[in-house]
Amino acid sequence: MGSGDEKHICRCEEVSEDEIRAAIRSGARTVQEVKRWTRAGMGICQGRTCRRLVERMLCEELGLKPGEVEVSSFRQPVRPVSLKSFED
């Protein structure tokens, strides 16, 4: 694939499928490890759009069944809040 053909799995952090697969091939074994190595899932959506794709890639690369992938924790999406909203 050329650089213009990159498939981004994590759009928030612009992490490509190739980067995630490379992390798995280099030793990442859980969604949390992929997240730490690539930042996939650390953007504004906190993995809501990419977490399942990362889990699927772990299954494919490691020969696991979906239930065998360690589920990652995730936080609620961050929303900016103005200081004025805290005033009475």
What is the arithmetic mean of pLDDT over 20-30?
Answer: 96
CA distance 40 to 36: 8
Domain boundaries, the chain: 3-66
For the entire predicted model, the pTM comes to 0.75
Residue 2, pLDDT above cutoff 60: no
Report yes or no: 29 and 62 within 8 Å, Cβ to Cβ: yes
Q: What is the pLDDT of residue 1?
A: 44
Give the C-alpha separation, 20 to 56, whole Å. 11
The topology (CATH level 3) of 3-66 is Arc Repressor Mutant, subunit A (1.10.10)
Element housing 20 (H / E): helix 17-25
